[in-house]
Amino acid sequence: MQFAPDMIPPGVDTFEKLAAWAGANLTFNGFSLTYQERQPSVAIGDQGIQPEFERTGPFRAWDDTPRLIFRHALKLKPDHESSLYAADWEAVEEHITSSPNVNFLNPSYQA
């Protein structure tokens, strides 16, 4: 999914909010993407297919605080271990090519 910094809503002013905003965008736009995470399990009774982007929550933690969990299985480029990338996040492949839902965007964003 292509991204421009001015898409970020003005209320996103901490790394925590940015992570939640980005996670919500990925799960909303890519919730149907799946991949073979592991072999199907007869013992567990599942097919071994897991979402690539998954949001769980809000839920209540042990201390009764509401929490969100985001899980992202981001595919890395084949040469991710080379010296081309200073950090792992630089080698992440793009999965979603559709535009983000307008409800997630800064109201003043101009495409």
Global confidence as pTM: 0.70
Amino acid at 91: A
Residue that is written with structure tokens 């690539």 in the block: 52
Render pLDDT for 60-93 as a digit per residue (tens, 0 to 9): 999 999 998 888 888 899 999 999 999 988 999 8
34 or 23, higher pLDDT: 23
Provide the 3-class DSSP secondary structure of residue 16: helix
Which residues are CB-contacts of 54 (< 8 A; sequence separation ≥ 6)? 27, 31, 70, 71, 72
| CB contact at 8 A, 93 and 75 | yes
CA angle 42, 43, 48 (to 5 degrees): 55
